[in-house]
Chains A and B, each alone.
Chain A
């Protein structure tokens, strides 16, 4: 037997009163740029006419306050009218019609500020070795033709087959000692030599005090990420930016942490360097597989924002009240989900004062629930770590479906007390009763996502809108809204294609070297416009024949429509309850 497996991994419980356990939120990668970056990369054509923060010269400078000041401002239609888009040079999107030379010049970058020659050696080494190991440096089909969602199990794939190489995105997880932990396609055993090579690569570079971050070839981007004793590798032909791929690897790492905690992972490998972590993750591959499918198909992970199910605010409020009333000591989050979208979330007062639930944590939680949902008759009680909240502690999650056998409405109650199953299950009974009394399930079942036609703007096919701040509450859960993907994006292939276009716009908007605030992109089959301000981030997709003026008018109308509907589209004021056993607190709050 293995001595490691015997250690009594007693995790500290989350003490919600202790502010020290509430680490600052993870950097939001997609917000990480400053205006000074923009300045240094200014590509203006007519510089005398344009504002410094207007790198592509897309914004007219008539309104000097619109983009420069950091004062939150409601985007008004007058601001909108002043938009003047000069530059409709087609931008690279998935490489279909554009100058890919430009794209690679933009993005081809290994680590800035590192020794170029050693980087070069490593790159060459990487290519050579990877080819030898069948890491697929050649012959990939067009990334647009592959669908990322394959059949559920890829464990038995022949890793020497051409089809294995042609997967659009491989993800590998290995330990620092080079032991395979996870591979998206094919079994880790079959890939152990490949993983060994990757590890050799990583340690070779480390020995030179460098960190290998990425390797580029014509067809593939290889991104390495080390987190503690784990090394994660993405081999992608999806043409996503390094930053996006890195963000995806971070989701994978955090999903592993959500099951084991970072502290446990560290401890295991301190104890035994070549521990086989698969022993602890066996059976969890499906959870990681599911996550990677989500990463490819669900824009909420790209945007780091939560998608709410549109709901009349009165109904959402009454659901929140039901949750608010069904409490027990140490309950910290009550979450109601329908059709994989958020209905409402109620948080413990003390918790929300100090921190908020990060969208990334909620995505990991939802994925975990989804992966285990095949057997929905039971009530689940599971430890779960929310890595952005605190990577070293467990919460205890009660998960149960309220509408068997359909199982579309799911209740998640998070407690800090691991023994609380029976009292938390009792909360569920109360919630169930109250919902039955109000016929809430019936009302929920009628709620659904909306069609873009409801916006009433012709030529607008689809959009994603993510507000940065909700008035009065800067601790709000980051959300976004988006209509159903409809024709011509009805098929999985077309949806993937649209998401690829969005991803490309997203990477340009968030480029660390040359961030853009506005992109107007005329593609072959559609026209896209992406716009980021201090208030929101917006991606829109129009029919290809739309004119610039039309698109700008359409966006004005769209923003008005969102404003009008925001009570229905977003959770505006997340309700709270108090379950802290602290007597002064609870008496003050009347519980």
Chain B
């Protein structure tokens, strides 16, 4: 079985495990809530993480280009960028996929490198998006300060 086959076959269990690993980085009662509430509007963070990692996983199976991953990664990173995470913490959710894969599928040595470097690339893209989000936040702050100055002048 190729890696792609076993990823497809174990899709659900890998994604669920990956989701749990990400959510467990929140305090426990928050994590319990994020895992249990399924309504998109009652639990935006949980829904966006779940949808985001499903799309990332699909993208990996379909061998999408780096550029195609940008919009897929964006929604999760936007959340991480306002949740006070340091850059390394903000993108750590990508690496947790390695953990989930190790637990759920057997990866042959010859395929290990490919999947690992894919995940590392995604981490790099995530970091770029994170920095853009932070810039955007600074810009939003500066815009407001400008309006305030205008009204005080």
Q: Report whether chain A binds chain B.
A: no
